[in-house]
Each structure stands twice: as structure tokens, then as C-alpha cells.
């Protein structure tokens, strides 16, 4: 053990060894892994070891596919047998909704390039897995790249391959303290103190403690998970092949072969947390006592699905803990506010996702950005609100219990809610608001009559007509929308203008003006579609998506300059938006200033009734509109003031479901759909806002290279779809004949134009208006065509009137 390394990885499970391997593979060989016991001690040794490329998040699915491809490489490179059994896999559906979802998911996987899967009938599935009963099943999906591995062998393969590339593995050496220094970190261990520039928390069951050593409270918790291994099953002895990995979604079980028996794993509804503050340091190869009574219902379903289990005994019970995050996805990346501290935690499916996590984190550390869009597992998708123990308990438990439970796109889950609410929350609730969640905040989705209950569905919901009416009121009159769910950052100081010119590729707005501001990464891919306000008093605001607050703050701080002061106003400011042709008439009743003459994209400070507010003339709905920002304490009064002033104009409150429809009719893209860190400005049309004549902004060279090269392979377009009762939502494949030529980024129903609309990325040669295409919507092929952007008011006169 040396006294200094470039990187110290803490934790000798599959994730830690994968990080170590990828760092060495990509050229950083001055790296060491420290393990308090021996490799695999913790969760890795008792993991079931299943692998499959399919995941509901397409970006994570791609990383899982990478992991599967990597496994045979590390086996060969290390010389360590990993016991890879590529049996193929089945995912079975037993309800009409689930079968519909599975057909839709099959098309999603096609969109992201996973071509080795297919839908199968129940009879086909039972031929592929002869010990499975088809009773109650409707169909399934087969995937070629599924199977299982020897977990201990795989960890040692990662470690062995890393050591061959120059990395060091240090076992039997517990980390005692972490102390931040000007150069990085001092890692105090039982065998001495190591200094390093970077430290990686891959602590697994001990991630909580390793985080607390650095003053970090990670939103993770271990939960117990059962599986059993059966005695020999005679029917398997007669087969000349292994039965495939099989998931029975309605039965809450997964199964794989284990020698001539099977391993049956259960995600029970009655979940059980374990050691929420982290495992004891001496824990390593122990297990919890099995509790068959707690999992009785799921066991019965499993034994009914696989009747052969009823005739043999149980050879081994495993009840061991794995670490989960609130949404079940990993927590990966640089921890905001702790330079040089990296998280590689809560990788619940470590052997399935560990390769992708290791690759992405190593790229992040070495190059400043991972190749893939990994926001779905970025540690910065959570803020301080997620440090609360009760929040962690509710949300991790909810994820675990719903692991195999059907979740619908329009379904709102209850765990950890409501947490933060806008001041007028109670008044809006009394007015019929139905709520969704963004980050820690409740946001209004629509306003419904008393007693209305939305039905979860993959198709158009029974709230469709309610949303249609809200859209009509905005387009013909005036609508009121709570915009507390926008992020706001204040920038000031003598260096503010120069700093903004560096991080934004867009020309800065003049005093009293606002402008769409495009933020690029160093590689030219997008980092934000934000709005920049110059209030004319030496202060600027950056406004964006509320759920990206911590993510954007990390980026801002990583690129901060002297002479700049930045404040997150998310806990201080709230607001409402007025939108519609009568919005000026409402606001002019409340001020004697020149607000009625404020030009499009103008901004300033005004008195709205008794409220001093910062107002901007803009609207995401594509109508004449005003965004009115107030202090949190003024939110209730501002709402009441606007409603009273707008009563004679027929003012109507609306929610974000209507706004999504309205913005689709204008072809306005949104983050996490049309705009992500996986796409470039040229692909998405955001290059129209780049100030090409200005030098020095982040990403300029890469953006110019794209502009002056052959151009992006895919372009953003608007589609009109001949849908019937269901609309595209995202990642549906798009076809020209038999050729896949793109995918949907987002979709919905345009209530004003009366058409099912979608925005999409398609191959450049298919982007011409009028091009006829086919889109799969909830698994059903629908004809579509490329139409001109902004099917509603293409000239933009409504929002400029």
C-alpha cells in the first residue's frame, strides 16, 4: 500500500471492482481499491447473479447491455472463470394491461437498439421453460441475452483484470475516516493514511457510513431479499438444456436453473428494511433468518407457477440485504458540494448494472462527462430533502414492493408525499387540483370536480376531457398556472456577465429582456434549455426545470469564477403564469405601470395589486402570457388577487397536463424528452440560438465541429399520428417501411388542433415535411407523417399580440 494514489475506491463488491477496472482500462493506473474484509463480503457473494438487458429506463437498459457484453471480456482478460450461463430469458404477463405493456415495452427496446428480443405465445413460452405452468398467462417476451453468472467469480474477474492493468487491491483494511484537503482527500485506514485526489464510495451495505465520513447523507437503505434453491427436480434432469431466466410479473417471482434444481427469488409486497444506518462493520458473510411466513403469498404463487417445486424440498434459503435508492436506480457521479468525492452506491442490480456504472463513472472522472446520458442514476437527481430517514424508508420500501407491480404513466404513487407544497396548495386543492411530484414539490396536474378519480391506464385517461377543457380556456380566454415548480437562480457580482457568457452559448439578453439560453457540455451536447433574465439592476436570473436544481447547481459550481455570486431561489420564490388572449386585460387591472406595454420577452419589476413581483412577458403555452414571480409568502395573496381580477374574463386554473398538450401544439421541446445531455444542439434545433460569433463559451469547438461537418445523423421533427384512444409518450420506434428510422421523444393529444401529436428524432433523410412513417403506440402500428413545426399558430402571432 502506497501513501498516495490518484483514486481510492472504497468497497470490494462488484461495483467497486468494476470502477477500479474501468479506471485502469481507460488509462488511470494509479488507483487502489480498499476493502475492509475480502472481496465480495457484503451483498455480492449472496446475489442471485441474474443478468438481462431489459430495463424500463432506456438509458439504463443500454448500460445493462454493455455490462453483458463486457462479462466475457473480463473473463478472458483476467483468466478467472465467471460461470456465465447465457440461457435466454422470459418475462411473462398475466393480465390484459400487463400484456399490453409488454407489447409496448418490446417496441421500446427496438427503439434503443435491443434487437434480440421477441414476443412469444404462452405455448411457446412453456416449450422454452417446460417446468412453467401457463395457467393464467397471456403472453411473454423472450430475450436472447439473459442468464446468470457466478457472482464471486465475476468480482474476482473484475479485480484480476484491473490488477493486470496496474491497479492495486488492498483487503483487510477498513476505512476509518475521510478528511477533505486542498488537494483532495485523506483516507484514514487501519493500515495507515492515504492521500488521493478522488475517493469513490462503492460501500454497498456500508455506503451510508462512508458517506457520513464526508458529511454526506446518501438516500440509501438496505432491504432484505429472499430466494430459495430447490433440491434436484427430476424434470430438469431429463432436459438437455437449461431452462431460461423467467420472470412472472404477476407472481412477484424470478427463476433460474441452479444445477439440476432452481433458484426462485421473490419481491414480496410485505417488504422489510434492515440496518437503515448501515450494516455493522463486522458483518460480511452472514445472512438473516429466512421468514417464509412473511413471503407466504408470493411463495404460493411461485409454487403454482412452477408445479415441480411442490414435489421437492428446499436445499438452501437466502435472506440477505441489498441497498436501494428511493427509485431503485443507482446513485452515481460527483456528489454536489464535495469536490473529488464520487458515489457508486445503491446499485441494487450490481451484476447487471455494475459494468455500465463502472464505465460511466470512470469516463466522468477522466473526461469530465460520461458517454451515455446517465441522469437516471445521477446522484444529483436528489437534493437535501431525500436525506430524511422517513422519506428514505417510505420510498425505498415502495420501490421494493412494487418491483414487479404494474405502474402506469398517469399513476401517482404516495410514498414520501406530500413533502414540499407551494403556499397556495390548500387553496388549489380546495379548487380541485390533482397533484404530481417534481423533485420534492407538489405540482398541479389538472383541476377536477369533487369525487373525480383518475383511472390508471396506458391509453388516454378519463381525465382527457378535463384537460381538453383547460386547454380550451387558455386558448380562448385566460388560464392561471402555478409556476412554483420552475427553478430560479440569481446571479450577480462584477463577474456575472462574463461568467454567464462562458456557460451559455446564447447571446446574453439586454437589460429588461429575457432570452432562451442554451447551455452546452464540453463535448457540445446539451446541458440545459434554460431561460435567462436580465432585470436591469445588475442581477440576472436563470430559470429552468425544478427537478434539475441540484444537477444544475453542481454544473454551475464546477464552472464558477471569482466575482460571481449565485443563489438558489427555490426555497424563496414562487409564482403564477397568466396565459391566453385575455391575460393582458387581467394584469392591467392590477397595476398602473407600463406592464401592458411590456414587449414579448420583456421583463421587469412591477406591483401586481399589493404584491411586488418580477414579471416576464412569455408563456410556454404559446399564447400571450405573463410569468409573475413572487416571494413564497405572497403566493396565496397573488393567486387570490389574480383570480378576482380575472373573474370577469372567465379565468380558469389549469395544470401541467394541459401545458404539455399546449406546448406540443407549438413544437416546444422539454428537458428529459426533446432535450437531454445525450443530444446535441444541432440534432434538436437548439443551434438556432447559439451566438456563433462569440468566443469562449463552453462547448463552442464541439458545436462548430458539428455545424461545419456533415451534420447530425438525426433531426427533431413534429409528427401527426393517426392514433385511436392512445397517444405516443416516448421511445416508441418509428419506421419507414421495414427500416427503423427514429423514435418518439414525447407525445400526447393536441386538444386545440384535434390531433395526436408527437415530437421525435428521425434520420435526417426522413425529416422532410410530408414524409409518411409508422409509429408503434402502445404496441400497435399507427401511420404518421412529418408535419411543419407548430401546428397551432405557426407564425407565433398569438404570443406576440
When computed from its CA atoms, the radius of gyration of the chain, rounded to whole angstroms, is: 27
Around Cβ 296, how many Cβ atoms within 10 Å? Answer: 12
387-445: pLDDT as tens digits: 999 999 999 999 999 999 998 999 999 999 999 999 999 999 999 999 999 999 999 99
The β-bridge relationship of strands 755-763 and 341-345 is: unpaired
632-680: pLDDT as tens digits: 999 999 999 999 999 999 999 999 999 999 999 999 999 999 999 999 9
Q: Which three cell numbers stand for residue 413?
A: 404513487
Nearest to 514 by CA among 495, 489, 536: 536
Residue with cell 458515489: 343
User: Is the pLDDT at 550 greater than 70, yes or no?
Assistant: yes
446-472: pLDDT as tens digits: 999 999 999 999 999 999 999 999 999
Distance CA 738, CA 777 (A): 16
Distance CA 741, CA 732 (A): 11
Give the single-character DSSP code of 504: B
Distance CA 465, CA 658 (A): 11
341-362: pLDDT as tens digits: 999 999 999 999 999 999 999 9
Q: Residue 611: pLDDT band by 50, 70, 90 thresholds?
A: very high
DSSP-assigned beta bridge partners for residue 747: 758
pTM beyond 0.85: yes
So what's the pLDDT on residue 774? 98
DSSP-assigned beta bridge partners for residue 632: none
Residue with cell 390531433: 755
Q: Which 3 state secondary structure label does DSSP give 34?
A: strand
Q: Which 3 state secondary structure label does DSSP give 475?
A: helix
Q: Which three cell numbers stand for residue 721?
A: 399520428
439-458 CB burial, b ≥16 within 10 A, e <16: bbbbbbbbbbeeeeebeebb
499-541: pLDDT as tens digits: 999 999 999 999 999 999 999 999 999 999 999 999 999 999 9
Question: Comparing 318 with 53, which gets the higher pLDDT?
Answer: 318
172-192: pLDDT as tens digits: 999 999 999 999 999 999 999
Nearest to 527 by CA among 502, 552, 491: 552
Q: Check: CB of residue 458 under 8 Å from CB of residue 100.
A: yes
Q: Check: CB of residue 520 under 8 Å from CB of residue 697.
A: yes
User: Is the pLDDT at 595 greater than 90, yes or no?
Assistant: no
Distance CA 518, CA 691 (A): 10
Q: Residue 56: pLDDT band by 50, 70, 90 thresholds?
A: low
Supply the mean pLDDT for the chain: 96
Q: Residue 602: pLDDT band by 50, 70, 90 thresholds?
A: very high
Q: Which three cell numbers stand for residue 79?
A: 483468466
So what's the pLDDT on residue 570? 96
CB proximity list for 630: less than 8 A, separation 6 or greater = 573, 574, 575, 576, 608, 611, 612, 613, 614, 638
Q: Which three cell numbers stand for residue 457?
A: 391506464
Q: Which three cell numbers stand for residue 133?
A: 405452468
User: Is the pLDDT at 299 greater than 80, yes or no?
Assistant: yes
List the CATH code of the domain at 4-332+340-364: 3.50.50.60
The β-bridge relationship of strands 331-334 and 341-345 is: antiparallel
Crossing angle of helices 14-25 and 151-164, in 10° steps, is 30
User: Is the pLDDT at 367 greater than 70, yes or no?
Assistant: yes
Q: Check: CB of residue 484 under 8 Å from CB of residue 575.
A: yes
Nearest to 324 by CA among 400, 375, 269, 379: 400
61-110: pLDDT as tens digits: 888 889 999 999 999 999 999 999 999 999 999 999 999 999 999 998 88
pLDDT > 90 fraction of the chain, expressed in percent and rounded: 95
Domains of the chain by residue range: 4-332+340-364
Helix (H) or strand (E) holding 8: strand 4-10
Q: How far apart are the first and last CA of the chain?
A: 71
User: Is the pLDDT at 594 greater than 90, yes or no?
Assistant: no
121-136: pLDDT as tens digits: 999 999 999 999 999 9
Q: Which 3 state secondary structure label does DSSP give 284?
A: coil
Q: Which three cell numbers stand for residue 575?
A: 409564482
Nearest to 745 by CA among 669, 643, 663: 669
Q: What's the residue count for the chain?
A: 801
The β-bridge relationship of strands 192-201 and 185-189 is: antiparallel
Amino acid at each position: 500500500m502506497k501513501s498516495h494514489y490518484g483514486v481510492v475506491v472504497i468497497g470490494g463488491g462488484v461495483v467497486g471492482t468494476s470502477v477500479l477496472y474501468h479506471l485502469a482500462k481507460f488509462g488511470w493506473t494509479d488507483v487502489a481499491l480498499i476493502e475492509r474484509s475480502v472481496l465480495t463480503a457484503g451483498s455480492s457473494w449472496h446475489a442471485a447473479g441474474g443478468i438481462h438487458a431489459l430495463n424500463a429506463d432506456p438509458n439504463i437498459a443500454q448500460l445493462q447491455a454493455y455490462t453483458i457484453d463486457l462479462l466475457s471480456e473480463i473473463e478472458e482478460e483476467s483468466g478467472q472463470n465467471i460461470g456465465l450461463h447465457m440461457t435466454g430469458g422470459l418475462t411473462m404477463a398475466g393480465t390484459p394491461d400487463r400484456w399490453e405493456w409488454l407489447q409496448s415495452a418490446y417496441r421500446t427496446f427496438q427503439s434503443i437498439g435491443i434487437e434480440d428480443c421477441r414476443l412469444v405465445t404462452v405455448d411457446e413460452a412453456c416449450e422454452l421453460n417446460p417446468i412453467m405452468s401457463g395457467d393464467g398467462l397471456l403472453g411473454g417476451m423472450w430475450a436472447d441475452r439473459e442468464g446468470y453468472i457466478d457472482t464471486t467469480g465475476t468480482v474476482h474477474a473484475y479485480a484480476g483484470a484491473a490488477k493486470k492493468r496496474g491497479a492495486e487491491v488492498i483487503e483487510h483494511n477498513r476505512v476509518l475516516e475521510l478528511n477533505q484537503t486542498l488537494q483532495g482527500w485523506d483516507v484514514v485506514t487501519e493500515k495507515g493514511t492515504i492521500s488521493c485526489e478522488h475517493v469513490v464510495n462503492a460501500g454497498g451495505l456500508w455506503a451510508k457510513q462512508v458517506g457520513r465520513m464526508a458529511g454526506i447523507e446518501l438516500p440509501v437503505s438496505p432491504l432484505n431479499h429472499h430466494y430459495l434453491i430447490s433440491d434436484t427436480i427430476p424434470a430438469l434432469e431429463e432436459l438437455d438444456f437449461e431452462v431460461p431466466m423467467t420472470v412472472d410479473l404477476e407472481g412477484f417471482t424470478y427463476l433460474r436453473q441452479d444445477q439440476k434444481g432452481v433458484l426462485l427469488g421473490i419481491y414480496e409486497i410485505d417488504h422489510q428494511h434492515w440496518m437503515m444506518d448501515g450494516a455493522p462493520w463486522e458483518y460480511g458473510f452472514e445472512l438473516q433468518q429466512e421468514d417464509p411466513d412473511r413471503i407466504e403469498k408470493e411463495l404460493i404463487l411461485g409454487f403454482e407457477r412452477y408445479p415441480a417445486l411442490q414435489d421437492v424440498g428446499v436445499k438452501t434459503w437466502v435472506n440477505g440485504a441489498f441497498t436501494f435508492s428511493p427509485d431503485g436506480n443507482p446513485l452515481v457521479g460527483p456528489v454536489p458540494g464535495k469536490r473529488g468525492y464520487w458515489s457508486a452506491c445503491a446499485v441494487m442490480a450490481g451484476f447487471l448494472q455494475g459494468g455500465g456504472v463502472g464505465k460511466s463513472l470512470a469516463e466522468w472522472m477522466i473526461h469530465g462527462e460520461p458517454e451515455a446520458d446517465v441522469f437516471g442514476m445521477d446522484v444529483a437527481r436528489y437534493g437535501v430533502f431525500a436525506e430524511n430517514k422517513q422519506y428514505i424508508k417510505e420510498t425505498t420500501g415502495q420501490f421494493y414492493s412494487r418491483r414487479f407491480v404494474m405502474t402506469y404513466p398517469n399513476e401517482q404513487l404516495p410514498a414520501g408525499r406530500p413533502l414540499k407544497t407551494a403556499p397556495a396548495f390548500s387553496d388549489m386543492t380546495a379548487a380541485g387540483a390533482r397533484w404530481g411530484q417534481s423533485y420534492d414539490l407538489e405540482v398541479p396536474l389538472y383541476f377536477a370536480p369533487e369525487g373525480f378519480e383518475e383511472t390508471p391506464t396506458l391509453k388516454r385517461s378519463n381525465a382527457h376531457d378535463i384537460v381538453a377543457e383547460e386547454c380550451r380556456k387558455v386558448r380562448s380566454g385566460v388560464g392561471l398556472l402555478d409556476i412554483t415548480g420552475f427553478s430560479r437562480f440569481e446571479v450577480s457580482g462584477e463577474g456575472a456577465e462574463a461568467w454567464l457568457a462562458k456557460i451559455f452559448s446564447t447571446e446574453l439578453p439586454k437589460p429588461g429582456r429575457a432570452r432562451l439560453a442554451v447551455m452546452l457540455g464540453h463535448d457540445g451536447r446539451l446541458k440545459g434549455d434554460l431561460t435567462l433574465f436580465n432585470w436591469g439592476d445588475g442581477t440576472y436570473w436563470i430559470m429552468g426545470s425544478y427537478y434539475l436544481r441540484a444537477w444544475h447547481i453542481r454544473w454551475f459550481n464546477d464552472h464558477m469564477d471569482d466575482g460571481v455570486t449565485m443563489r438558489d431561489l427555490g426555497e424563496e420564490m414562487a409564482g403564477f403564469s397568466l396565459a391566453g388572449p385575455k391575460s393582458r386585460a387581467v394584469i392591467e387591472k392590477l397595476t398602473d405601470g407600463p406592464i401592458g406595454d411590456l414587449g414579448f420577452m420583456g421583463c421587469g419589476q412591477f406591483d401586481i395589486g399589493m404584491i411586488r413581483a418580477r414579471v416576464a412577458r412569455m408563456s410556454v403555452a404559446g399564447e400571450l402570457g405573463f410569468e409573475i414571480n413572487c416571494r413564497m409568502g405572497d403566493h396565496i395573496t397573488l393567486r387570490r388577487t389574480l383570480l378576482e381580477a380575472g373573474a370577469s374574463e372567465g379565468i380558469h386554473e389549469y395544470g401541467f397536463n394541459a401545458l404539455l398538450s399546449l406546448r406540443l401544439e407549438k413544437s416546444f421541446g422539454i428537458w428529459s424528452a426533446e432535450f437531454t445531455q445525450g443530444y446535441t444542439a444541432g440534432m434538436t434545433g437548439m443551434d438556432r440560438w447559439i451566438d456563433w460569433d462569440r468566443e469562449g463559451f463552453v462547448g463552442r469547438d464541439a458545436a462548430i465541429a458539428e455545424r461545419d461537418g456533415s451534420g447530425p445523423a438525426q433531426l427533431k421533427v413534429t409528427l401527426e399520428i393517426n392514433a385511436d384512444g392512445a397517444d405516443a409518450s416516448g421511445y416508441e420506434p418509428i419506421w419507414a417501411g421495414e427500416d427503423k428510422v427514429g423514435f418518439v421523444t414525447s407525445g400526447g393529444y393536441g386538444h386545440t388542433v384535434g390531433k395526436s401529436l408527437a415530437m421525435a428524432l428521425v434520420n435526417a433523410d426522413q425529416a422532410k415535411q410530408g414524409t409518411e412513417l409508422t409509429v408503434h403506440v402502445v404496441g400497435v402500428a399507427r401511420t404518421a407523417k412529418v408535419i411543419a413545426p407548430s401546428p397551432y399558430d405557426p407564425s407565433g402571432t398569438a404570443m406576440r399580440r
